[in-house]
């Protein structure tokens, strides 16, 4: 008996040593993400799936705060010599990331150094254009690609006497629907919006093919000047001010918080990222439908395409970054861009499939036919009329400039200044930020 116990203990010990040896042999890859809720849970699961698919690397996916806080933390970690290998960063941070000399490695170069085939043309055109370099290489890898859409509560539409299958297509129709919803008591508010600057400044101007700033919306380099204090933007802000007085519009904050007003049924319509679909489907208790963003019909040529949103994967450099680590980074990114991952991600979350092959796979499987409304972001982003100013922007300190827009529009919503004053102050303060950014990188 004693001999058997000794043999068993020895076997267990050897097994533990062996298991430890396997674990220690794995190279750890740190990835920081900016997603929470069901989308964050799914992205974390992709990390676990990758870990089970091979034995060389262990990816650790962790949430380190919202995108702006995460970017600040990652840059501090870079200066300390220990940044994450991969960071998921939203579109607004792209201008700063491009200018972060030495901190990032273009993703095309990462794949090249790892010896893994990578063709930027595999990604859908809007994503390729937004995150690309003039030579066709990609700076970062598009992943959670989205655009802004209109979600609406069909049950509230019925209560208000509106046709639930006819969403408002223009701003006059949107205003009329919101007023009818309020006057009939179908909901406490007509509509709300998340991400005020992204939707009411960036997406709004793309939808009407209006520039935000000179030099090709900042893509032309230093010296760009913001140019949004015009009658169209003044009219849009004044519309929000007027509708808020009757709660036909209800302001819900600068980021994603306003989604709760829609999910709870308080507001009947929501301007939101298409990537917000998963949370709405999980928590909403009403019949949901999706439509493209409204437009002002008197603007020549409108509606135009909306612009890309969401986030991409950036690869950080570090003094001690090894070729083995970069190979692990490339392998994980290669896993994320696979059709299996991309199609599950798009089907589950409401984000767009970022690669052409995953888009075709979803088409061939009949996904968009079987799920009415899920093609809305594609129709809005890819198949709508393209214009000179629908390809996005690239401004430094854009996260800070977005907050200036929030502050100035909030003052207008509070009745402390006019719409024109809000936009004039936004341009003045935003241009000061652009000049400060240029001085910091030169």
Same domain for 154 and 253: yes
Same domain for 176 and 137: no
C-alpha radius of gyration, the chain, whole number: 24
Same domain for 271 and 325: no
Same domain for 298 and 173: yes
Which residues of the chain fall below pLDDT 50? 1-4, 6-8, 10-23
**CB-count exposure of residue 327 (10 Å: 0-12, 13-18, 19+):** buried
For residues 252, 255, 259 and 261, what is the CA-based torsion angle, rounded to 10 degrees?
-20
CA distance 83 to 249: 42
Same domain for 88 and 104: yes
252-269 residue pLDDT tens: 999 889 999 999 999 999
Neighbours of 14 (CB within 10 A): 10
- DSSP result, 158-211: HHTT--TT----BHHHHHHHHHHHHHHTSSSEEEEESSHHIIIIIIHHHHTT--
Question: For the chain, what is the domain count?
Answer: 2
**CB-count exposure of residue 372 (10 Å: 0-12, 13-18, 19+):** exposed
- Quick check: is 371 in a domain? no
Same domain for 281 and 199: yes
Residues contacting residue 3 through CB under 8 Å, at least 6 positions apart: none
The runs of H, that is alpha helices, within 54-153 are 67-79, 94-98, 107-114, 125-131
CA distance 349 to 40: 10
Pick from 117, 265, 274: nearest CA to 194 = 274
Domain limits for position 125: 27-146+309-365
Give the position of tokens 């308080």: 266
CA distance 265 to 259: 10
Same domain for 191 and 153: yes
Please name every residue paired with 226 in a beta bridge, in sequence order, or none if there are none.
213
Residues contacting residue 364 through CB under 8 Å, at least 6 positions apart: none
Cα–Cα distance list, 310 to 147, 185, 342 (Å): 7, 34, 14
Cα–Cα distance list, 16 to 2, 5, 23, 84 (Å): 21, 16, 10, 30
User: H or E element: which one contains 271?
Assistant: strand 267-273
Pick from 8, 437, 434: nearest CA to 214 = 434
Same domain for 140 and 48: yes
CA distance 119 to 123: 8
Same domain for 152 and 142: no
Cα–Cα distance list, 374 to 236, 368, 370 (Å): 27, 6, 9
Q: What is the CATH number of the domain that holds 207?
A: 3.40.190.10
Contact indicator for 324, 193 with CB cutoff of 8 Å: no
- Quick check: is 71 in a domain? yes
How confident is the model at residue 68, as a pLDDT?
Answer: 82
Cα–Cα distance list, 253 to 246, 401, 406 (Å): 18, 16, 9
Bridge-based pairing of strands 309-316 and 86-90 is antiparallel
Same domain for 327 and 300: no
Q: Select from 323, 350, 365 the last residue of a domain.
A: 365
How confident is the model at residue 24, as a pLDDT?
Answer: 61
- Quick check: is 252 in a domain? yes
- Quick check: is 158 in a domain? yes
- Quick check: is 11 in a domain? no
- Quick check: is 373 in a domain? no
Same domain for 316 and 205: no
38-66 residue pLDDT tens: 999 999 999 999 999 999 999 999 998 88
- Quick check: is 13 in a domain? no
- Six token digits for residue 402: 């977005």
Pick from 351, 346, 282, 339: nearest CA to 311 = 351
Same domain for 163 and 55: no
- Quick check: is 190 in a domain? yes
């Amino acid at each position: 008996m004693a001999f058997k116990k000794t043999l068993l203990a020895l076997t267990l010990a050897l097994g533990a040593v062996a298991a430890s040896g396997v674990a220690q042999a794995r190279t750890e890859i740190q990835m920081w993400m900016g997603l929470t809720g069901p989308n964050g849970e799914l992205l974390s699961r992709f990390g676990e799936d990758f870990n089970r698919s091979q034995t060389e690397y262990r990816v650790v996916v962790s949430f380190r705060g919202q995108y702006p806080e995460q970017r600040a933390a990652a840059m501090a970690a870079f200066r300390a010599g220990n940044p994450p290998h991969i960071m998921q960063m939203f579109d607004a941070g792209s201008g700063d990331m491009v200018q972060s000399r030495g901190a990032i490695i273009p993703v095309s170069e990462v794949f090249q150094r790892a010896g893994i085939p990578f063709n930027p043309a595999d990604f859908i055109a809007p994503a390729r254009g937004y995150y690309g370099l003039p030579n066709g290489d990609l700076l970062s890898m598009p992943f959670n690609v989205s655009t802004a859409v209109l979600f609406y509560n069909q049950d509230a539409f019925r209560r208000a006497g509106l046709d639930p299958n006819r969403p408002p297509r223009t701003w006059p129709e949107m205003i009329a629907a919101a007023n009818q919803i309020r006057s009939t008591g179908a909901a406490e508010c007509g509509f709300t919006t998340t991400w005020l600057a992204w939707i009411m400044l960036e997406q709004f101007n793309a939808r009407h093919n209006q520039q935000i700033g000179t030099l090709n919306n900042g893509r032309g380099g230093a010296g760009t000047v913001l140019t949004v204090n015009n009658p169209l933007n003044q009219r849009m802000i004044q519309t929000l001010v007027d509708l808020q007085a009757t709660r036909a519009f209800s302001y819900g904050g600068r980021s994603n918080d306003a989604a709760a007003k829609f999910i709870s049924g308080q507001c009947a319509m929501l301007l939101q990222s298409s990537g917000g679909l998963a949370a709405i489907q999980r928590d909403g208790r009403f019949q949901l439908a999706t439509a493209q963003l409204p437009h002002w019909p008197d603007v020549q040529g409108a509606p135009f395409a909306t612009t890309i949103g969401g986030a991409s994967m950036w690869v950080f450099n570090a003094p001690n970054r090894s070729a083995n680590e970069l190979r692990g980074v490339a392998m994980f990114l290669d896993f994320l861009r696979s059709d299996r991952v991309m199609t599950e991600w798009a089907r589950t979350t409401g984000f767009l499939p970022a690669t052409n092959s995953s888009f075709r796979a979803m088409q061939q499987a009949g996904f968009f036919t079987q799920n009415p409304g899920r093609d809305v972001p594609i129709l809005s982003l890819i198949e709508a009329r393209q214009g000179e100013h629908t390809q996005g922007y690239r401004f430094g300190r854009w996260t800070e400039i977005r907050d200036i827009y929030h502050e100035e529009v909030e003052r207008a919503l509070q009745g402390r200044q006019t719409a024109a004053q809000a936009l004039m102050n936004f341009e003045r303060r935003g241009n000061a930020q652009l000049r400060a950014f240029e001085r910091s990188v030169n």
